[in-house]
A and B are shown apart, each in its own frame.
Chain A
């Protein structure tokens, strides 16, 4: 009799039943227009949440209590692993990660039912709840079927397990990066559900947009943080000095981010001008579909990836679900789409809506390029029978021009008025952003940056930063004029958005500099020897050995530039045959010096090989990510009532289009 297996399976079964019955109840309620049934939706969502919380607790109890009678614990647990990593190993492998996914999904579902409790009988809300419950039914079914986390061990119960993958028990970021990613990934289910609801009910006015705006933004923010943390983890742990490798798993998280970003921009055109309705719906449907496709690609084993999960039958389930989601979405669009199209047109390409349109074309192209690169090996092999690898060069070459074009738009779009811009307005408003761009370019050349693409990136970065700062300064002035605190200048969607833009620019500049100008070498050193690599002197002081039950660590003590001592390490885990390196980094705002221990001494006192990599501005990637997160939070705070003279103004409630900045500026 296995307590944890029974309790866990029961909890999952309760969650599954609650979701499935909830779907049926809401369906019947909607069909028969019985308000009594619609009111039950929240109860079912709550019971499903209780079920998944219980299964989460049981799994943690099994992991922390080292109950090796559960297969998941036997395969991923280990007595010597520190508690934090044992706790985090719940989401370190396939089956457990589905628990976390479902937990977040059910929490979002309950949050939706609580937030909209006043409108529970509104068919729009009921359909949205139904959609969310249907999605959680699927994930509960996964846990009952191909990805059962509570499978008991067949045969003898082991006394200890191998522990999580060594790469996953080396850095605290591993514990927090996946939850953020999932909060973002799963959060897109909310706008997706409202999208489906709007299409089914035919209520595709701007109402559902306003309803889901903050949910989308919140998910987008979580996903952004998750991606940046993932890049940081890979920099701190993997030891090759990079942070982004266009690996299928990275692409899987990046694809919904791209379509989500496109949506956040284009939705403003719909709110303001009523255009692009079908496009916006499609973007949200695509974002959700891409999260499922990404989950399939990373968990089915069809692609080789450094983080691929073990294979199981889950692939077929996820692919079928992807097909279902896409089928339903496209069917609804085909059915309703032509009725929603607005007669409005973009008056001039040189206008705010024109810029948003260009932005969307670029983001869609970006997503297509990344998707194509990710699945191309599979398509090619199906057609030709040969394996082919699509690597970094493809992604770098294809995405670089798109990235530069996006930077350019980021500079120009915020100053463009709606409808049409005159030359004088453009000249006036772009004047000092252009100076900022020139300053960025000159500064880059002065500090020694060379090469066309990086210099263009730095120039455009300065240009875009100037434009974002101009908006913030104008907002601050407007706040002061109207006697509000300067805090008012940074909250609200437009101003928070400009802060996010600043974060993106910082990330773009750091990305460019860390990839284009990183340099270094490997050097063989004997004890006491000093070498100069990439402008830094490294003295090898000797090795230190630490042995614990969990791992054996050999550290190379290195004095960098005659000052601080760093100790990159090589770890050997008894249950894994590969050696895992841990880099040691001298972090700085101007540059990081990234030290790796490449080769341990063959005999005591022998020589070692040390890798030294200098990466300019790489820390700013994480700072930029933090600024993006702060900007998103500020954008979530309701802005003040905007004056028509504010640099960016929303359509007033009366529906009358206010005088544009054009007139008042």
Chain B
């Protein structure tokens, strides 16, 4: 008798609290599930929508002199990297694939900018892991400063018009780059 009275009088706090927490956790799980991995993230940058800062420098891998203004008319991926950075090592194969996929058509190219690293290490890195696109040394970090690079790897997608359309932090993935390219092509 007492028991029955007690249970009727007892509020259903546990139920409501469980539902509230359930909703909160469901939201958290949704957020977690829809996050891209820490690599390949399109982020905001004041540079997006502006003309790419100019770059005119000798390359360190016998690709002659590199000038950004010569690249008008095709997509350009400007990749800031260092050989000591693990995500940079991981993204390298994807970059090689991306560069190879577009060499034939000539509709997109890659340029790498060294971020505080030794030239000799970079040469060895490319010799071992492939990649024949221009690599530009950035002795005093001039380019990194001009582009607003905080930490490597960071990549910028420059449209054929010379405008920066996207900043990518973390290692890039081949599929991601292709998708971005298709997206920007469609949006133009």
- List chain A positions with a Cβ less than 8 A from chain B: 278, 296, 300-304, 308, 310-311, 315-316, 319, 322-323, 326-327, 330-331, 333-334, 336-341, 343, 375, 378-379, 381-382, 385-387, 577-579
Contacts and interface: CB of A to CB of B under 8 A. Distances in A.
The 5 nearest A-B residue pairs measured at CB? A337-B14, A334-B18, A578-B84, A301-B37, A577-B83
Contacts of A304: 38, 170
Contacts of B18: 330-331, 333-334, 337
A326 B13 contact: no
B54 to A, nearest CB: 27
Nearest to A326: B25
Given A308-B38, A338-B12, A378 B25 contact: no
Contacts of B10: 338, 341
Given A300-B37, A378-B31, A387-B41, 16 more contacts: A301-B39, A302-B38, A311-B39, A315-B37, A316-B33, A319-B33, A322-B29, A334-B14, A334-B18, A338-B10, A338-B15, A341-B13, A343-B6, A382-B31, A386-B43, A577-B84
Interface size class on chain B is 35 or more
A278 B35 contact: no
Contacts of B121: 577
B162 to A, nearest CB: 25
Nearest to B170: A304
B174 to A, nearest CB: 14
A311 B7 contact: no
Given A278-B14, A387-B43, A578-B84, A382 B35 contact: yes
A327 B6 CA distance: 28
Contacts of B7: 338-339
A387 B169 contact: yes
A338 B13 contact: yes
A381 B37 CA distance: 12
Given A334-B14, A387-B169, A319 B19 contact: no
B19 A334 contact: yes
A302 B29 contact: no
A378 B38 CA distance: 10
Nearest to B11: A338
Contact of A379 (B25, B31, B39): B31
A614 to B, nearest CB: 29
B13 A323 contact: no
A343 B81 CA distance: 63
B44 interface: yes
B1 interface: no
A577 B85 CA distance: 8
A571 to B, nearest CB: 13
B38 A301 contact: yes
Contacts of B33: 316, 319
B8 to A, nearest CB: 11
Interface string B102-143: 000000000000000000010001000000000000000000
Nearest to B9: A343
A331 B39 CA distance: 35
19 contacts: A301-B37, A301-B38, A302-B37, A302-B38, A304-B38, A319-B33, A330-B25, A334-B22, A337-B14, A338-B11, A338-B15, A343-B6, A378-B35, A382-B31, A385-B43, A387-B41, A387-B43, A577-B121, A579-B84
A278 B16 CA distance: 13
A303 B26 CA distance: 19
B28 interface: yes
User: Chain B at the A interface: mostly helix, strand, loop or mixed?
Assistant: helix
A338 B43 contact: no
Contacts of B169: 387
Contacts of A323: 25-26, 29
B31 to A, nearest CB: 5
Nearest to B41: A387
A333 B125 CA distance: 56
A381 B32 CA distance: 11
B29 A319 contact: yes
A382 B13 contact: no
Contacts of B13: 337-338, 341
Contacts of A300: 37
Contact of A296 (B12, B19, B32, B84): B32
Nearest to B44: A386
Interface in B139-188: 169-170
Contacts of B28: 375, 379
A552 B112 CA distance: 29
Nearest to A289: B25
Nearest to A281: B14
B21 interface: yes
Most buried by B among A304, A327, A579: A304
B110 to A, nearest CB: 20
Contacts of A578: 84-85
A555 B23 CA distance: 56
Contacts of A387: 41, 43, 169
A81 B32 CA distance: 37
A361 to B, nearest CB: 15
Contacts of A385: 43-44
A378 B21 contact: no
Contact of B34 (A296, A322, A327, A382): A382
Contacts of A326: 22, 25, 29
Nearest to A323: B29
A302 B39 contact: no
A426 B44 CA distance: 59
B35 A381 contact: yes
B26 to A, nearest CB: 8
A433 to B, nearest CB: 37
A381 B170 CA distance: 15
A340 B10 CA distance: 11
A278 B11 CA distance: 14
A326 B25 CA distance: 8
A577 B125 contact: yes
Most buried by B among A339, A387, A577: A577
A279 to B, nearest CB: 10
B153 to A, nearest CB: 12
